[in-house]
Amino acid sequence: MDRNIQVSRLDRQAVEDQEVEIVERKGIGHPDSICDGVAESVSRALSQLYLDRVGKVLHYNTDETQLVAGRAAPAFGGGEVVEPIYILIVGRATKEYDGEQLPVDSTALAAAREYLSEAIPELEYGTDVVVDVKLGEGSGDLQDVFGEETQEVPMANDTSFGVGHAPLTETETIVHEAERALNTTYHDDHPELGPDVKIMGKREGDRIDITVAAAMVDAYVDGLDEYDDAVASVREYVDDLAREYTDREVHVDVNTADDYDEGSVYLTVTGTSAEQGDDGSVGRGNRANGLITPNRPMSMEATSGKNPVNHIGKIYNLLSTRVAESVTSEVDGIRDLQVRLLSQIGRPIDEPHVADAQIVTEDDVELGDIEADVLAIVDRELADVTDVTRSVIEGDVSTF
């Protein structure tokens, strides 16, 4: 197939070589990430419901999910939630097919409950957090595009684009890996650390500054001294982790808004700032690769909650990242690569309007020496675009 794939030189320095770099990651307990996680868990559950009941994924989207913050009274040794967090699952879904009513709302609520119990274990479902669902029916024209059964490859549901990049810089890697490690390996031994961990990385020249906002769970902290120890432990852990990925100078700060003299510290009942005035929305946080990267082009599309079969806002953001990672892992001499995929509504999703790969090569590598290899890999990944759908439904791909 003759796909429209373009390969060109990227007319800028590689991000790793730029003087200033900024990178952010909102952890799984951040209010925006909670919305992403709930929306995506509901999305996977609806996909599985449709596959089990009718043999194919029907039209739906849950990417407008919102969180309204609650109110809490944290205290050393254990406080309480005064007003519950409210989560509204919003979107569109097919509720009837071939005369059969489908349990869409109950499936969505069950998926949200399961996700929240796993991601934020201190949050008691039904009392600390209330979940509601409002899923309307989809528009007929988009359902028609979605429902094309004569095409082996689905048609794009929108004229939109996705972007991806690789390889990650040292700062990007540190920010991403630090949050994931804090919320897995570290948390297993330190239950006082809540899942609302936000990390900001700033590199100026060869100095990397990491700022961590770490919500502490009051039930596991008996006083200010223990809180101070918990903060110091996070700082030391992130500092050690960062040095595994860079030889640059590293400086780590944790909970810089704390004022010990005033007794104002980042203490929570549930481990998330959503309990105390911090609202959330799908798509306001991490991009599809798990990072917020102002040094790179980014799509404003919310990836989480979108239908994984033909919704370009999801597929092309995930696929462009996969393409970039595949190219940089298989082709030597690439310093920096960004991939942009543009769809046109009604066209097969494996035939983008344009697939654009822009490259910064190593000093001793000419673009012409690697262009054919890059073209072949981009073409291969586009041909296998439906594997993105399978991976998403099976939960093998993170969307935030």
User: Is residue 210 located within the same domain as residue 78?
Assistant: no
Q: What is the pLDDT of residues 189-223, one digit of tens each?
A: 999 999 999 999 999 999 999 999 999 999 999 99
Among left, alpha and beta (phi > 0; psi -120 to 50; other), residue 312 is: alpha
Output phi, psi for 113, to 5 deg: -60, -45
Asked if the model's pLDDT at residue 150 lies above 50, the reply is no
Check if the beta carbon of residue 21 is closer than 8 Å to that of residue 200: no
Output phi, psi for 121, to 5 deg: -60, -25
Asked if the model's pLDDT at residue 145 lies above 70, the reply is no
| CATH number of the domain encompassing residue 87 | 3.30.300.10
Which amino acid would we find at residue 263?
G
| Mean pLDDT for the stretch of residues 152-156 | 88
The owner of tokens 């370009």 is 312
CA distance 302 to 304: 6
Q: What is the mean pLDDT of the chain?
A: 94
Domain that holds residue 113: 31-146
Asked if the model's pLDDT at residue 139 lies above 70, the reply is no
| Mean pLDDT for the stretch of residues 44-57 | 95
User: Residue 149: pLDDT band by 50, 70, 90 thresholds?
Assistant: very low
Name which of 16-30, 106-120, 137-151, 310-324 the model is least confident about: 137-151
User: Is residue 163 located within the same domain as residue 311?
Assistant: yes
User: Residue 356: pLDDT band by 50, 70, 90 thresholds?
Assistant: very high
| Mean pLDDT for the stretch of residues 50-66 | 94
Asked if the model's pLDDT at residue 327 lies above 50, the reply is yes
CA distance 239 to 241: 5
The owner of tokens 């439906």 is 386
| Mean pLDDT for the stretch of residues 51-70 | 95
Q: What is the pLDDT of residues 71-85, one digit of tens each?
A: 999 999 999 999 999
| Mean pLDDT for the stretch of residues 25-36 | 98
User: Is residue 254 located within the same domain as residue 355?
Assistant: no
Asked if the model's pLDDT at residue 343 lies above 50, the reply is yes
Which residues contact residue 19 at a Cβ distance below 8 angstroms, ignoring those fewer than 6 apart? 204, 205
Write out the two tokens for 205.
């020249």
Asked if the model's pLDDT at residue 148 lies above 50, the reply is no
- For the chain, how far is it from start to end, CA to CA, in angstroms? 32
CA distance 379 to 133: 40
Counting Cβ atoms within 10 Å, is residue 262 exposed (0-12), middle (13-18) or buried (19+)? exposed
User: Is residue 324 located within the same domain as residue 248?
Assistant: no
Asked if the model's pLDDT at residue 138 lies above 90, the reply is no
User: Is residue 60 located within the same domain as residue 125?
Assistant: yes
| CATH number of the domain encompassing residue 335 | 3.30.300.280
The last residue of one of the domains, among 99, 114, 146, is 146
CA 298 to chain centre: 13
What is the predicted pLDDT for the residue at 147?
A: 46
